[in-house]
């Protein structure tokens, strides 16, 4: 029996986020016939913004509940303080998030794995893609919220490290009522050599952005390069049916249309168990379930030292609805397949191609995304506001 502690987040923006992740974990464990071999103890860490709450609850799970593994659905930088606690206790920490942020250091913590959907990696690829076009000029257009994570920096660096030239930065207000693209429009009308927009929005800000940018896009022939959350199919449910998105593309870690057996099984399992459509959140949970299943198998074979279990987990790729993912042995950060997707009309997403050499791209990404010195950003888990 594996005792699994889960530090659950809360989100008013995406109320089902925590439950969807939990369902993903459970359904994958059931698929492996391991659900009854796992005892769950959960606790809530709100938006993941209080270091004290995260630390004391993680410590309580270890010292009082005697869990074997803790899944912390929290930002990677908010969990770095936990590494000594887990290493000293011979327990495994599995940090789950969307990869909107990056660690301060790529050094591998002995008994911690950070698993994500690699949003920053995807935005970096998207930035590089935009720079590969003939016109190197681009305006960065971000929501105030999304800009506070390294995925924004990654997108800009992906663009600028490949000869892209930033010509304008537009950051929208945090409050939706104050959302406006007017200054951007004025700039684009006056500077017709900027036709490319690097766009980073999520949820209701993504809805508002699409609604406001479409007329501008048509009038000024703009090409949009977008973040994974802007390719999220759940936007379909809220955007007007007659929306006519054109010339929009970006890298995403996953899409429901991916044609692989694991994805079919994943979507069916989630639908059957919850009567809901699979999404990014259930995918994150499903993949965490795969890691937990593998941990159980390693522990069953007699390997009980947490650091050795983590090393074993870095040795093989995992089959996933996104194709595959791996745990990087040098950093203990996971990375996986990435797909170039185009987006048309009413967020009709079509997978154009798969990133060919993921390992090489990941190595380059890590080398470029080494941030020295002080940096600022949001502390809460991405999408947990």
Partner 1 sequence: MNELKVIILCNNPISIPSIKEFLFFGKVAAIAIPKRNKEMQHILEPMLKEVSVPLLLLNKKEYKTELSNAIDQYKPNVVLMMTFPFIIPTEILSKPEKGFINFHYGLLPQCQGPHPILWHMLNNDVEAGVTVHKVDEGIDTGDIIMQEKIGIDVKDTYGLLQSKLAFLAAKQSASLLKILTYGSIVPATKQDLSNAKYYEMPTAKDLTILWQDMKAEKIVRLVNACNPWNKGAGTSINNWGLGITEVEIIGACEETTQKAGFVIYADKENGLIVKTIDNKKLKINIVYTNEGFFSGTRMGDFGIKPADIFI
- What residue ranges bind partner 1 (CB under 8 A)? 51-52, 55-56, 59, 63, 80-81, 83-89, 104-105, 107, 110, 373
> What is the smallest separation between the CB atom of 7 and partner 1, expressed in angstroms?
14
Cβ pair 338, 253 in contact under 8 A:
yes
Beta bridge partners of 70: 5, 93
Nearest distance from residue 373's CB to partner 1, in Å?
Answer: 8
Distances (CA, A) of 59 to 9, 22, 77, 381: 17, 21, 17, 19
Least distance between partner 1 and beta carbon 89 (Å):
7
Nearer to partner 1 by C-beta: 63 or 264? 63
Q: How far is the CB of 91 from partner 1 (least distance, A)?
A: 10
Shortest separation between residue 295's beta carbon and partner 1, angstroms: 20
Sequence-distant (≥ 6) Cβ neighbours of residue 159 within 8 angstroms: 127, 128, 130, 131, 138, 166, 198
Pairing verdict, β 318-320 and 323-327: antiparallel
- What is the closest distance, in whole angstroms, from the C-beta atom of residue 334 to partner 1 in the complex? 21
Distance CA 130, CA 340 (A): 12
- In whole angstroms, the minimum distance from the beta carbon of 331 to partner 1 comes to 12
Give the strands of the sheet with 112-116, arranged side by side: 38-44, 2-8, 69-73, 92-97, 112-116
Torsion angles phi and psi, residue 134, rounded to 5: -60, -45
Looking at the Cβ atoms of 109 and 250, the one nearer to partner 1 is 109
The residue among 110 and 358 lying less far from partner 1, judged by its C-beta, is: 110
Q: Which is nearer to partner 1, 143 or 380 (CB)?
A: 380
Distance CA 163, CA 161 (A): 6
Give the pairing type, strands 348-354 and 339-345.
antiparallel
Cβ(85)–Cβ(313) below 8 Å: no
Nearer to partner 1, 107 or 257 (CB): 107
Cβ neighbour number for residue 49 with a 10 Å cutoff: 18
131: number of Cβ within 10 Å: 21
- Minimum separation from the CB atom of position 59 to partner 1 (A): 6
What does R_g of the chain's alpha carbons equal in angstroms? Answer: 20
Of 106 and 187, nearer to partner 1 (C-beta) is 106
Say which residue the tokens 């105030």 belong to: 144
Nearer to partner 1, 178 or 372 (CB): 372
Dihedral over alpha carbons 325, 26, 64, 98 (to 10 degrees): 40
The answer to whether 99 touches 119, Cβ cutoff 8 Å, is yes
Smallest gap from residue 24 Cβ to partner 1 (A) = 29
Which residue lies nearer to partner 1 by CB, 50 or 169? 50
Alpha carbon 73 to its chain's center: 12
Q: Which is nearer to partner 1, 62 or 213 (CB)?
A: 62
């Amino acid at each position: 029996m594996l005792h699994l502690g889960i530090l659950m987040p809360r989100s008013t923006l995406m109320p089902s986020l925590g439950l969807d992740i939990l369902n993903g974990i459970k359904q994958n464990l059931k698929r492996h016939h391991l659900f009854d071999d796992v005892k769950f103890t959960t606790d809530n860490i709100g938006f993941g913004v209080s270091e004290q709450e995260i630390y004391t609850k993680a410590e309580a799970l270890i010292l009082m509940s005697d869990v074997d593994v803790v899944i912390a659905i929290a930002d990677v930088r908010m969990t770095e303080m936990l590494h000594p606690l887990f290493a000293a206790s011979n327990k495994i920490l599995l940090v789950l998030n969307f990869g909107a942020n990056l660690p301060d250091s790529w050094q591998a913590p002995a008994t911690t794995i950070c698993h994500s959907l690699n949003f920053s990696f995807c935005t970096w690829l998207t930035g590089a893609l935009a720079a590969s076009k003939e016109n190197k000029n681009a305006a960065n257009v971000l929501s105030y919220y999304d800009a506070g994570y390294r995925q924004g920096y990654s997108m800009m660096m992906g663009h600028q490290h490949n000869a892209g030239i930033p010509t304008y930065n537009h950051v929208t207000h945090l409050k939706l009522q104050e959302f406006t693209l007017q200054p951007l429009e004025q700039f684009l009308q006056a500077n017709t050599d900027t036709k490319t927009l690097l766009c980073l929005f999520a949820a209701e800000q993504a809805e508002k952005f699409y609604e406001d940018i479409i007329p501008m896009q048509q009038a000024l022939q703009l090409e949009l390069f977008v973040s994974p959350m802007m390719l999220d199919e759940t936007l379909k449910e809220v955007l007007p049916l007659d929306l006519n998105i054109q010339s929009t593309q970006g890298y995403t870690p996953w899409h429901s249309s991916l044609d692989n057996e694991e994805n079919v099984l994943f979507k069916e399992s989630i639908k059957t168990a919850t009567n809901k459509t699979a999404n990014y959140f259930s995918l994150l949970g499903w993949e965490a379930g795969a890691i937990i299943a593998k941990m159980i198998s390693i522990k069953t074979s007699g390997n009980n030292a947490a650091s050795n279990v983590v090393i074993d987990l870095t040795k093989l790729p995992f089959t996933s609805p996104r194709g595959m993912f791996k745990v990087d042995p040098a950093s203990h950060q996971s990375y996986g397949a990435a797909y170039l997707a185009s987006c048309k009309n009413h967020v009709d997403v079509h997978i154009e191609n798969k990133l060919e050499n993921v390992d090489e791209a990941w190595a380059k990404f890590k080398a470029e995304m080494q941030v020295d010195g002080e940096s600022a950003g949001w502390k809460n888990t991405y999408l947990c506001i």
